[in-house]
Amino acid sequence: MAELRIADLTKRFAGKIVLDGLDLVVPSGELLVVLGPSGCGKTTLLRLIAGFERADAGTIHIGDELVAGPGLHELPERRRIGYLAQEGALFPHLTVGANIGFGLRRRPDRDRRVGELIAMVGLPQDYARRYPHQLSGGEQQRVALARALAPAPRLVLLDEPFSALDAALRQAVRDTVAAALRQAGATAVMVTHDQAEAFSMGDHVAVLRAGRIVQHADPVSLYRRPADPVLARFVGEAVLLPGTAAAGRAACALGTLPLAAGAEAEAEGPVEVMIRPEQIRLTLPGATGSRPAEVQDVTFYGHDAVVRLRLPDAPGLDIAARLFGLDVPRPGQTVGIAVAGEVVAYPA
């Protein structure tokens, strides 16, 4: 368990810049999720931390130890890092027990430690004698995690560890993995392109864009107060409306709305107002403070529904409401809509 500190990390492949002076600090014992679209450099970042790639510039510290820097490249096997690769491949010819114990070959308490790890990732003890092909995808992922945690690494790196699992299994394995990481007290960096995964697992989430971290915050702040409109759309669905801000409020087609505390609350003049679809509520048509809107279409998701709406006096605006109740309106119906809670404004 150790703090991870990355400064000015730069990596090019064949002249093309992938990481561009990236800075990142992960406090000891924390799980940080790095979120970014496919191809943005997530695997590259983990491979640089693990030592499988060499940086072109910048430094990486694990605890007090400099493991990468100008003229210095500590070998991967000496960095004491547990790495769960994007394809978390187990050794197919070794049993589960032998896979988990692979990095513990010289330890006298190996069998006891393997037993502890099997329990930590929530599998029955008799799985130790099975082979990987006798396990489901989710069970294999848990074994791969147990193997990464076995030598009590200072740092654990996880590369999209759940992307191969179906939705139901994914949530169960996420919970087990998050619990196992906390129990091990490990400092961990997980990368993913899945927003829900980032929000539900990370103590903090850092968004990687164009080779740098563009926002690093706790999940709630990142979702409620994204730093710019592009981020707002990347971490969730966003309704963006033109408006005018003054004295901590923004006037737009849906009313004069209070701004969330923070730098954005000081916005003045022309702005883009960001509202989350679940903030838009249906009211009775004509209710005080509401605006009339016509239902364009409805997408039903089971636990909720997304309703696209059009305002008669501003038909060009794209407004989506996420509704949780049982009463979902029909296309063509006229409803009243109002915004609940605070909104964010970006200088236009």
Ligand X SMILES: Nc1ncnc2c1ncn2[C@@H]1O[C@H](COP(=O)(O)OP(=O)(O)OP(=O)(O)O)[C@@H](O)[C@H]1O
Q: Which is nearer to ligand X, 18 or 22 (CB)?
A: 18
Using the contact rule CB under 6 A, the part of the chain among 10-18, 142-150, 176-184, 286-294 near ligand X is 10-18
Smallest distance from the beta carbon of 13 to ligand X, in angstroms?
3
Residue with tokens 């500590």: 74
The reply to whether 13 sits near ligand X by the rule CB under 6 A is: yes
Which of 21, 39, 185, 347 binds ligand X (CB under 6 A)? It is 39
Distance, in Å, from the CA atom of 306 to the CA atom of 105, rounded to the nearest integer, reads 54
Least separation, in Å, of the C-beta of 163 and ligand X?
9
324: number of Cβ within 10 Å: 10
Helical (H) or strand (E) element with 220: helix 219-224
Q: With binding defined as CB under 5 A, does residue 192 bind Mg ion?
A: no
Handedness of CA 57, 63, 67, 72 (dihedral sign): positive
Q: How would DSSP label each residue in 135-194?
A: S-HHHHHHHHHHHHHTT--SEEEEESTTTTS-HHHHHHHHHHHHHHHHHHT-EEEEEES-
Among 2, 6, 9, 41, binds ligand X (CB under 6 A): 41
13 vs 300, beta carbon nearer ligand X: 13
Q: Interface with ligand X by CB under 6 A: which range of 33-41, 258-266, 270-278, 324-332?
A: 33-41
Residue 43 found at the interface with Mg ion (CB under 5 A): yes
Of 15, 38, 70, 316, which one interacts with ligand X (CB under 6 A)?
Answer: 38
Q: Which of 9, 30, 35, 44 binds ligand X (CB under 6 A)?
A: 44
Provide the minimum distance between the beta carbon of 174 and ligand X in the complex, in angstroms, as a whole number.
18
Contact call for residues 128 and 97 (beta carbons, < 8 A): yes
Alpha-carbon distances, residue 157 vs 27, 45, 55, 269 (angstroms): 14, 10, 17, 44
Report the C-alpha gap between 222 and 199 in whole angstroms: 9
Q: Are the C-beta atoms of 16 and 71 separated by less than 8 Å?
A: no
Shortest reach from residue 279's CB to Mg ion, in Å: 33
Exposure string of 165-202, with b = 16+ CB inside 10 Å and e = fewer, is beeebbeebbebbbebbeebebbbbbbbbebebbbebb
Query: Nearest-CA neighbor of 143 among 183, 87, 97?
Result: 97
CB of 11 to ligand X, least distance (A): 8
Q: Does 44 bind Mg ion (CB under 5 A)?
A: no
Contact residue for ligand X among 4, 40, 50, 323 (CB under 6 A): 40
Asked if residue 157 binds ligand X (CB under 6 A), the reply is no
206 to 32, 60, 71, 213: CA distances (angstroms) = 7, 17, 28, 6
Amino acid at 209: R
User: How far is the CA of 160 from the CAs of 83, 88, 191, 211, in angstroms?
Assistant: 11, 9, 6, 18
- Could you say which residues in the range 239-268 bind Mg ion, by CB under 5 A? none
Q: Which stretch binds Mg ion (CB under 5 A): 41-49, 74-82, 135-143, 234-242?
A: 41-49
Any idea of the CA torsion for 13, 15, 17, 18, to the nearest 10 degrees? -10
Closest distance of CB 111 from ligand X, Å? 36
Q: Name the segment binding Mg ion (CB under 5 A); options: 43-51, 170-178, 276-284, 301-309.
A: 43-51
Shortest distance (Å) from residue 141 CB to ligand X: 16
Asked if 243 is part of the footprint of ligand X (rule: CB under 6 A), the reply reads no
Residues that bind ligand X (CB under 6 A): 13-14, 18, 36, 38-44, 86, 193
Residues that bind Mg ion (CB under 5 A): 42-43
